[in-house]
Chains A and B, each alone.
Chain A
């Protein structure tokens, strides 16, 4: 069974159509990259998958592990194993990273019929998973994302991913704003979580990240449609030629 099966997905906001018919299938063990110029709808796709209410779905279907994803609440999607690393992680004053994660992890456990983790076991798990992204344990006591630098926020997203162990992770421009060292750290954190059972969708603007997280499939999203799909070489081609040739081709085809 595929992890994710998107068929003809159309979605928009306030009557404006942003996604104009997306088809995408992700199977276990696969890494897909979605590339495309700014404003083409990449974050909208990620948001619709995660269940953000601002967007109205006007057509198509999404199956996640055989379930109708669009019928599920955002929290149920997460508990079922979908993870979105936000392009712009939100600052939440007063809620410490540790307490937030404890609540989140225990909600996931509850959904699986498991008991909450003992505090000591939980702390040990957090410390272990933080190492994946070389995050300092002092972050655990700080309010979630509050005053974190751009890079720290992105690492925190991947740390959360490691804690929640999703079946499918959608990483929305997790590379943006990272310097080369931070990029490598984040990519290593992601790669450590690759397995034959789970899938990853990497949304990125640049090819750079894909040197580290090597995708099986690359898709180009433009103007609400996937206008081209290919192997990892497509990313290199985009890097060399820019997006204009794709746009031109897509216009000719349309």
Chain B
């Protein structure tokens, strides 16, 4: 029943948006929205009978009475960004380095963002129907790395997104400062659903780090369905950091698609450290020789938290490389899911693709479902995967105890070390330290670096 109502809500929101478009209805972005709407109706809301959504029961998320962002939040006091604890934490961690891009309910708000115009090689624009109509690069890139046909929530985002941001790094430019896209959901006056859209275009030999974080304000329900597309042209280097550290009642179903051209690389770091429900899809397509994908992720969950990471690395041509490490620490009644697909197409000889996934269950009631899925059609390749799920090594705990370290502390120390292996790979020191401290606090451990 709630599924039916949700579909009606999507329909109503879509047609409402279409009515308000005033002439842009025939433009290229809206053509994509129409296709997204159709694709959503065709696919429907996935149930746990659907292989890709086996452990991810989204139905409880859909039962609320959502309003879309476009309905506006008139009459509500402006948001006080400094009062959003997790936002403030990670912003402080980046300090004066940060190029802050504030998206509230999907809308990029330059007035609340860093003045970036003097930063050489960086361009940030609101994603609008007009921009999509007039800018060839944007039009070509939009929906190129996230297809509505393959994913019901990409379809939903595509159908309903009317705002977003385009981040462009000019040819040859290296942006040293992390570009922080903060997606804020204003759920103070009603249950809120938002569908932000981010496009990252790294031109030839461009380099940048994009940090995305999600924050819910207010005690009503929130469901954020963000889609980020990254296009890394030849020799570009894009690092993407995703921080999930939202409030307990926040829910997110996100999709990131990356297209990686020759000699370019995309590195992703996904941190699931808080929030009620997180489903993350990350798809990296290696399109030309010597393209590289690096996928790191760590989930540290407690209480009733849920985090589901689905990744796809698609080796479509010879001589590409991918490396993936996902780890999870699960306490309380938390649930983790990892599904890692690697496709090596028949022509993709000389592929090297490595995946590992390790989970630590620190409570008997926590659960993890992990599934590596390697589909290899080429023969001259080096591919491997390793997956483990287990408890702490009690021999090691005893060893630490025998040196005077208390049992609880010994366990926390080892658990922290387990998770820290992934965090260490994050180059930005301030951010890395903040995440290490966050994890340590969650595990009641002392943070330290190896």
Let me know if A216 is at the binding interface, CB within 8 A. Answer: no
Q: Find residues 168-221 in chain A having any chain B CB closer than 8 Å to their own CB.
A: none
Q: Say how far B116's CB is from chain A's closest CB, in angstroms.
A: 38
Contact between chains at B413 and A79 (CB < 8 Å): no
Q: Say how far B274's CB is from chain A's closest CB, in angstroms.
A: 22
Instruction: Choose one: A75, A90, A91, A141; the contact of B405 (CB below 8 Å).
Output: A75
Q: Say how far B247's CB is from chain A's closest CB, in angstroms.
A: 30
Contact between chains at A104 and B421 (CB < 8 Å): no
B420: chain A residues at CB < 8 Å are 94
Instruction: Choose one: B393, B399, B401, B405; the contact of A86 (CB below 8 Å).
Output: B399
Contact between chains at A92 and B406 (CB < 8 Å): no
Chain B window 390-413, contacts with chain A (Cβ cutoff 8 Å), 1 for yes, 0 for no: 000101101111111111011001
B417: chain A residues at CB < 8 Å are 92-95, 143
Q: Closest chain A residue to B415 by CB distance?
A: A94
Contact between chains at B399 and A90 (CB < 8 Å): yes
Q: Closest chain B residue to A107 by CB distance?
A: B404
Q: Closest chain B residue to A78 by CB distance?
A: B404
Q: Find residues 91-116 in chain A having any chain B CB closer than 8 Å to their own CB.
A: 91-96, 99-100, 103-104, 107-108, 111
Q: How far is the CA of A96 from the CA of B414 in the complex (A)?
A: 11
Q: Say how far B161's CB is from chain A's closest CB, in angstroms.
A: 41
B137: chain A residues at CB < 8 Å are none
Q: How far is the CA of A89 from the CA of B450 in the complex (A)?
A: 20
Q: How far is the CA of A147 from the CA of B56 in the complex (A)?
A: 39
Let me know if B377 is at the binding interface, CB within 8 A. Answer: no
Q: Find residues 246-297 in chain B having any chain A CB closer than 8 Å to their own CB.
A: none
Q: Closest chain A residue to B413 by CB distance?
A: A95
B398: chain A residues at CB < 8 Å are 52-53, 74, 90
Contact between chains at A103 and B409 (CB < 8 Å): yes
Contact between chains at B401 and A73 (CB < 8 Å): yes
B399: chain A residues at CB < 8 Å are 86, 89-90, 92
Contact between chains at B413 and A103 (CB < 8 Å): yes
Contact between chains at B450 and A96 (CB < 8 Å): yes
Knowing A94-B450, A103-B446 are in contact, say whether A74-B401 is a contact too (CB < 8 A).
Answer: yes
Q: Say how far B142's CB is from chain A's closest CB, in angstroms.
A: 41
**Which of B395, B396, B405, B418 has the most CB atoms of chain A within a 10 A radius of its CB?**
B405
Knowing A73-B407, A143-B450 are in contact, say whether A50-B418 is a contact too (CB < 8 A).
Answer: no
Let me know if A224 is at the binding interface, CB within 8 A. Answer: no
Contact between chains at B409 and A99 (CB < 8 Å): no
A93: chain B residues at CB < 8 Å are 417-418, 421
B407: chain A residues at CB < 8 Å are 73-75
Contact between chains at A75 and B413 (CB < 8 Å): no
Q: Say how far B290's CB is from chain A's closest CB, in angstroms.
A: 31
Chain B window 406-450, contacts with chain A (Cβ cutoff 8 Å), 1 for yes, 0 for no: 110110011011101100000000000000000000000010101
Q: Say how far B316's CB is from chain A's closest CB, in angstroms.
A: 35
Interface size class of B (residues with CB under 8 A): 20 to 34
Q: Find residues 30-85 in chain A having any chain B CB closer than 8 Å to their own CB.
A: 50-53, 73-75, 77-79, 84
Q: How far is the CA of A78 from the CA of B405 in the complex (A)?
A: 9
Knowing A92-B417, A94-B418, A94-B450 are in contact, say whether A75-B401 is a contact too (CB < 8 A).
Answer: yes
Contact between chains at B448 and A104 (CB < 8 Å): no
Q: Say how far B355's CB is from chain A's closest CB, in angstroms.
A: 18
**Which of B401, B403, B416 has the most CB atoms of chain A within a 10 A radius of its CB?**
B403
Q: Closest chain B residue to A52 by CB distance?
A: B398
Contact between chains at A99 and B403 (CB < 8 Å): no
Instruction: Choose one: A79, A84, A100; the contact of B400 (CB below 8 Å).
Output: A100
Let me know if A164 is at the binding interface, CB within 8 A. Answer: yes
Contact between chains at B401 and A108 (CB < 8 Å): no
Knowing A74-B398, A95-B413 are in contact, say whether A100-B450 is a contact too (CB < 8 A).
Answer: no
Let me know if A223 is at the binding interface, CB within 8 A. Answer: no
B402: chain A residues at CB < 8 Å are 50-51, 74-75, 77-78, 84, 86
**Which of A50, A86, A92, A93 has the most CB atoms of chain B within a 10 A radius of its CB?**
A92
Q: How far is the CA of A95 from the CA of B421 in the complex (A)?
A: 10
Knowing A103-B446, A141-B450 are in contact, say whether A92-B400 is a contact too (CB < 8 A).
Answer: yes
Contact between chains at A92 and B405 (CB < 8 Å): no
Q: How far is the CA of A94 from the CA of B436 in the complex (A)?
A: 13
Contact between chains at A160 and B396 (CB < 8 Å): no
**Which of A79, A84, A93, A141 has the most CB atoms of chain B within a 10 A radius of its CB?**
A93
Q: Say how far A97's CB is from chain B's closest CB, in angstroms.
A: 10
Knowing A52-B398, A90-B393, A90-B399 are in contact, say whether A108-B418 is a contact too (CB < 8 A).
Answer: no
Q: Say how far B407's CB is from chain A's closest CB, in angstroms.
A: 7
Q: Say how far B367's CB is from chain A's closest CB, in angstroms.
A: 24
Q: Closest chain B residue to A108 by CB distance?
A: B404
Q: How far is the CA of A78 from the CA of B404 in the complex (A)?
A: 5
Q: Say how far B132's CB is from chain A's closest CB, in angstroms.
A: 46
**Which of A52, A53, A75 has the most CB atoms of chain B within a 10 A radius of its CB?**
A75
Q: Say how far A86's CB is from chain B's closest CB, in angstroms.
A: 7
A90: chain B residues at CB < 8 Å are 393, 395-396, 398-399
Q: How far is the CA of A75 from the CA of B450 in the complex (A)?
A: 23
Contact between chains at B406 and A107 (CB < 8 Å): yes
Interface on B for A, CB 8 Å cutoff?
393, 395-396, 398-407, 409-410, 413-414, 416-418, 420-421, 446, 448, 450
Question: Sorted from nearest, which 9 A-B pairs have the closest CB atoms?
Answer: A94-B417, A78-B404, A74-B401, A104-B403, A90-B399, A107-B404, A96-B450, A95-B417, A75-B401
Q: List 29 A-B contacts (CB under 8 A).
A: A50-B402, A51-B401, A51-B402, A52-B398, A53-B398, A73-B401, A73-B407, A74-B398, A74-B402, A75-B402, A75-B405, A79-B404, A86-B399, A90-B393, A90-B395, A90-B396, A90-B399, A93-B417, A95-B450, A96-B448, A104-B400, A104-B403, A104-B404, A107-B404, A107-B405, A107-B406, A111-B404, A141-B450, A143-B417
Interface on A for B, CB 8 Å cutoff?
50-53, 73-75, 77-79, 84, 86, 89-96, 99-100, 103-104, 107-108, 111, 141, 143, 160, 164
Could you list 9 further interchain pairs (A-B, Cβ under 8 angstroms) beyond the known A75-B401, A99-B448, A100-B413?
A75-B404, A78-B402, A79-B404, A92-B399, A93-B421, A100-B403, A104-B404, A107-B406, A164-B403
